[in-house]
Structure 1
Amino acid sequence: MTSAAVQDAPVKASPFFEEKVLWVKHWTDRLFSFGLSRPESFRFRSGEFVMIGLPGEDGGKPVLRAYSIASPSWAEELEFFSIKVEDGPLTSRLQKIQPGDTVLLGKKPTGTLVLDALKGGKRLFLIGTGTGLAPWLSVARDPEAFSRFEKVIVCHGVREVDELAYRDFYTADIHDDPLVGDEAKAQLSYYPTVTRQPFERQGRFTDLINSGRLFRDLGLDGEKFNADEDRIMLCGSMDFIKDMGALIESHGLIEGSNAEPGDYVLERAFVG
């Protein structure tokens, strides 16, 4: 092969954008959020996830993980909510990022935690544990959520009280949102629960649902999900997804997908 042929060989396009870190917020020693610049060509539906990563050390392959996009589809920047794993291949490094650093961003967002995958109804339950709150930060700021449903109920379960990241956002700040502030005041409910510390509400979601307390606390008719009116999204650990999916189906709801909308959806491609 001649040197000219080598020079003319096409350069393979990278599957990633290289985006700048705009800000970092550490909630606890286990949780943090960060914002990235958004490429002009990057499009996604609220609730989707994308691959996030850092270049490999010593010239190795990039280290990547799937992350739900926590900002709404119309936002000018991209927000993410992450755990910190001391020995994690990615988060052990990602938790140390600073504004101005570069993070790899995948070019193809995808996922099933989107409004398109649900049939119409009256109430939308967004139920997540830990960083499984992330997609609800996107969906709950999407005007379509409030136009399609009379009530939007964000349910967040954590182990300790200080892990209720974004609590102030759901109880106050979202009311000042330029697009959905008025709708959030009238239609949004925030339902936090803690499992390992005293709190106004304690217990796992499966127990709160089985006992009927979740429905009583929210002032809803009946003490189980209504397959005709309730639509549900789930995000959290694999055990949480498995247990909640079985419980929801015992109430008569059917899982949906992008190809065939249903009564509830979960994300099988990744956890948390």
Structure 2
Amino acid sequence: MNLNFDPKAKKASATGPTSEKVLSVHHWTDRLFSFRITRPSGFRFRSGEFVMIGLQGEKKPLMRAYSIASPNWDEELEFFSIKVPDGPLTSRLQKIQPGDEVMLNRKSVGTLVHDALTPGRNLYLFSTGTGFAPFASIIRDPETYEKFERVVVTHTCRDVAELGYSKQIVDETLNHEFLGELVEGKLFYYDSVTREDYHRTGRITTLIENGDLAEFVGDKTFDPEVDRGMICGSTEMINDTKEILEKAGLTEGSNAKPAEFVIEKAFVG
């Protein structure tokens, strides 16, 4: 496993999509699946960015924005997707098998990157559903732990089974032969569900407002001097969490103007 990719290296000059081979597919539930594809030579991205991927249509490729779930040093590309029965792309994409071909645009973009945040001490990664995907990349990036002393990744789903992907990614990161020592005592996983009995139930916004998250981290939340945030998930969750952070004094940032928190506005359909 190569940890020497340079995420800031010049990206491939070609902008047209390439055809990449599906390497593996894992169906987590009847609503969620992940898959890995080959990574084209020269393809560079910053952990947390998204890229257009898709399948060949009758006349042209059908492409949608997907966050890259693999870290920028990985030799393969990983994605985490919802299954939409009547979705133009996902209704077909959920049926892919190893050996099939997937179209990949060469240009990656996005706001859920280190460069869009000002320096801080604590990084909060708020996600629901497949919104965990960019954070699967970020928590496996060594740069994250060079910039922050503590990384708290939250994942809220409807059912316990839907937490399977994030649980596995966090567990693999904590036990990784290279990353394990780096993330020890720095990476914290805060999960919850909304429709089943579990050790923690409720929307992330509710758990913030009732003090449960603060109790979990053992600290006051949120201080614009030291706390930074990234948000990715449903529109309602993004808007509500954004409001909470803004009330605490944090300002939304971007690649052009870094600040205390950022949100992702790309969705898959």
Structure 1 unaligned runs (5+)?
1-12
| CA deviation vs aligned residue, 1:117-153 (integer Å, no higher than 9, x gap) | 0111111011100000000000000111101111011
User: Equivalent residue for 2:249?
Assistant: 252
In the alignment of these two chains, the number of paired residues is 256
Summarize the alignment of residues 1-272 of structure 1 with structure 2, pairs less than 5 Å apart: 15-56=16-57, 59-220=58-219, 222=220, 224-270=221-267
- Distance in 1 between residues matched to 2:177 and 2:21, nearest whole Å: 25
- TM-fit CA distance, 1:170: 4.7
Query: TM-score, structure 2 length as denominator?
Result: 0.92
- TM-fit CA distance, 1:171: 4.9
- Distance in 1 between residues matched to 2:15 and 2:100, nearest whole Å: 19
Structure 2 unaligned runs (5+)?
1-13
- Distance in 1 between residues matched to 2:166 and 2:106, nearest whole Å: 31
- Distance in 1 between residues matched to 2:254 and 2:131, nearest whole Å: 19
- TM-fit CA distance, 1:198: 0.4
- Distance in 2 between residues matched to 1:194 and 1:213, nearest whole Å: 14
- Distance in 2 between residues matched to 1:107 and 1:70, nearest whole Å: 16
- Whichever of the two has the greater Rg, that structure is 1
- Distance in 1 between residues matched to 2:187 and 2:211, nearest whole Å: 20
1:236 touches 1:271 (CA, 8 Å); kept in 2? no
The CA RMSD measured in Å over matched residues stands at 1.5
Identity of aligned residues (%): 55
- Distance in 1 between residues matched to 2:195 and 2:202, nearest whole Å: 8
Greater alpha carbon shift after TM alignment, 163-172 vs 253-262:
163-172
1:25 touches 1:34 (CA, 8 Å); kept in 2? yes
- Distance in 2 between residues matched to 1:132 and 1:218, nearest whole Å: 21
Query: TM-score, structure 1 length as denominator?
Result: 0.91
- Distance in 1 between residues matched to 2:119 and 2:178, nearest whole Å: 22
